């Protein structure tokens, strides 16, 4: 065991939300969840995909800079790393406008001093036929895929933790998780909004599989429950926010799609928090015992 990994641990909070299309209401829930997570000792809070609005992507994209500044202020005010799940954005990382009337799906990490330390544009866009009310999904009709992988250091209590960034559909592609590990990742963020049916079938399995592929902790912060769209149409997401350890075991999870079903004699909240601790020494030891990246021959 490397001496540098001794006594280095970080508490992480994954937040489950039921975001609707009222951005201000969603921001209030995000702020409350960050305050709650910080009070429970979290150093990093991971919000789900589409945390500020489920739907109304172009309207939300017009507020990208404003909403990003709000997330930065939350991080600064409460002295915590905030991973702002995903926000739609009309421009690429270099500032160029996304062509063909499309957007980018952007995940951002803000440091405790409020600076943005990473931007990851979702690479894999959800394309599937699902036996639900919507029937088919084609995220590429609205979004342009990103092209760059991102691994960013988090500096916490004199230790450094390397975070690889993913979003939702990225979980289905083991090569991405492996590439992030090869770039030094120790934990992977996976803010998501899985459909109810695909989540029921694959969510937990995918989180555990990507953890095994990469030997990284995987943080699955999820949307859950029913979301109302225009004309009273609804979409249902799976929820079940889960954090998986490097060895594929589930450390902690919220075992429901709907919020507050687990609340017994507790305050009703518009979010749920799942906590886990990354112990660098234990994870490093596990990697040494099964050094799969020393044996990897195809990448």
The residues carrying an active-site annotation are 49, 122, 168
Give the integer Cα–Cα distance in Å for 94 and 96.
6
Q: Is the Cβ–Cβ distance between 44 and 84 less than 8 Å? A: no
Q: Is the Cβ–Cβ distance between 244 and 220 less than 8 Å? A: yes
Token output for 151: 């691994």
Enumerate the β-bridge partners of residue 63: none
Q: Is the Cβ–Cβ distance between 16 and 291 less than 8 Å? A: no
| CA gyration radius, the chain | 18
Angle made by CA atoms 9, 13, 18, in degrees to the nearest 5: 170
Neighbours of 205 (CB within 10 A): 11
């Amino acid at each position: 065991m490397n001496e540098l990994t001794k006594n280095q641990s970080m508490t992480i909070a994954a937040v489950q939300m039921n975001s609707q299309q009222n951005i201000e209401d969603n921001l209030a829930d995000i702020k409350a969840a960050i305050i709650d997570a910080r009070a429970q000792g979290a150093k990093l809070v991971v919000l789900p995909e589409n945390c500020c609005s489920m739907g109304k992507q172009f309207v939300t994209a017009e507020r990208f800079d404003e909403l990003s500044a709000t997330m930065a202020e939350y991080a600064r005010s409460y002295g915590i790393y905030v991973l702002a799940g995903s926000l739609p954005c009309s421009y690429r990382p270099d500032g160029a406008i996304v062509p063909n009337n499309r957007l980018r799906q952007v995940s951002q990490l803000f440091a405790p001093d409020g600076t943005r330390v990473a931007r990851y544009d979702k690479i894999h866009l959800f394309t599937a036929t699902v036996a639900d009310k919507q029937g088919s999904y084609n995220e590429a009709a609205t979004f342009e895929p990103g092209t760059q992988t991102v691994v960013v250091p988090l500096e916490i209590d004199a230790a450094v933790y390397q975070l690889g960034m993913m979003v939702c559909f990225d979980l289905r592609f083991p090569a991405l998780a492996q590439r992030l590990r090869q770039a030094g990742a120790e934990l992977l963020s996976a803010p998501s909004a899985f459909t109810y049916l695909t989540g029921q079938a694959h969510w937990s399995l995918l989180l555990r599989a990507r953890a095994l592929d990469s030997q990284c902790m995987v943080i699955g912060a999820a949307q859950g429950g029913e979301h109302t769209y225009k004309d009273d149409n609804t979409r249902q997401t799976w929820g079940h926010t889960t954090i998986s350890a490097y060895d594929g075991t589930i450390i902690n999870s919220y075992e429901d799609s709907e919020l507050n079903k687990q609340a017994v004699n507790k305050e009703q909240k518009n979010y749920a928090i799942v906590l886990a601790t990354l112990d660098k020494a234990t994870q490093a030891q596990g990697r040494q015992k099964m050094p799969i990246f020393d044996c990897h021959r195809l990448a």
